[in-house]
């Protein structure tokens, strides 16, 4: 088993910059970016096992938009947000202005001012979820 320091040193050697970027499709990422994601996940896993915090935020909000039923993904996202120090808010479109005709663009633009991270689960219809995520992403970037 690698030490935490060794894992961190290996992560530092990778050339990547994911700040402010979406992660929608693995094949849109470089090998270095994918290696960094795996290395960071392994580092966080080891830190969790060792009882060490990997809290990154003192405050902030993670917004989940789960448009279809989910158990593992929903709880995994909530756990990750909590571990990073973020509060969690679920966007339930049926209880928001989306139900009254607000567009995806308007909703995403509004939440872009409040969120540190947005997690989306939308795979009810082939291709539609990806289209929705890209629309949200474009509106968030515009709002930002």
Residues 143, 137: Cα–Cα separation, whole Å: 10
Calculate the average pLDDT of the chain.
Answer: 85
Torsion angles phi and psi, residue 20, rounded to 5: 70, 15
Going by C-alpha positions, the residue among 142, 50, 132, 38 that lies closest to residue 91 is 132
Residue 125 banded pLDDT, cuts 50, 70, 90: confident
Which residue has 């709002």 as its token pair?
A: 143
* Helix, strand, or coil (residue 96): coil
Going by C-alpha positions, the residue among 142, 141, 143, 135 that lies closest to residue 65 is 135
pLDDT of residue 89: 92
Residues 87, 103: Cα–Cα separation, whole Å: 25
Does residue 1 register a pLDDT over 90?
no
Q: What tens digit of pLDDT does each residue of 44-101 get?
A: 888 898 899 989 999 999 999 888 888 898 999 999 999 999 999 988 777 777 767 7
This prediction has a pTM of 0.79
What's the Cα-to-Cα distance from 86 to each of 48, 112, 122, rounded to whole Å? Answer: 17, 15, 22
* Helix, strand, or coil (residue 29): coil
pLDDT of residue 59: 94
pLDDT of residue 88: 95
Q: What tens digit of pLDDT does each residue of 17-48 get?
A: 887 788 877 888 888 899 898 988 888 888 89
pLDDT of residue 60: 94
* Helix, strand, or coil (residue 63): strand
């Amino acid at each position: 088993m690698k030490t935490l320091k060794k894992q961190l040193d290996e992560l530092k050697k990778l050339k990547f910059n994911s700040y402010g970027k979406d992660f929608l499709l693995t094949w849109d990422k470089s090998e270095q970016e994918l290696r960094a994601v795996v290395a960071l996940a392994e580092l966080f896993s080891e830190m969790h096992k060792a009882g060490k915090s990997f809290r990154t935020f003192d405050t902030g909000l993670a917004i989940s938009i789960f448009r279809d039923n989910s158990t593992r993904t929903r709880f995994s996202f909530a756990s990750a947000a909590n571990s990073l120090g973020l509060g969690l808010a679920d966007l339930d479109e049926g209880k928001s202005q989306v139900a009254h005709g607000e567009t995806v663009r308007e909703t995403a633009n509004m939440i872009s001012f409040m969120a540190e991270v947005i997690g989306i689960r939308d795979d009810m219809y082939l291709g539609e979820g990806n289209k929705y995520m890209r629309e949200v992403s474009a509106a968030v970037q515009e709002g930002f």
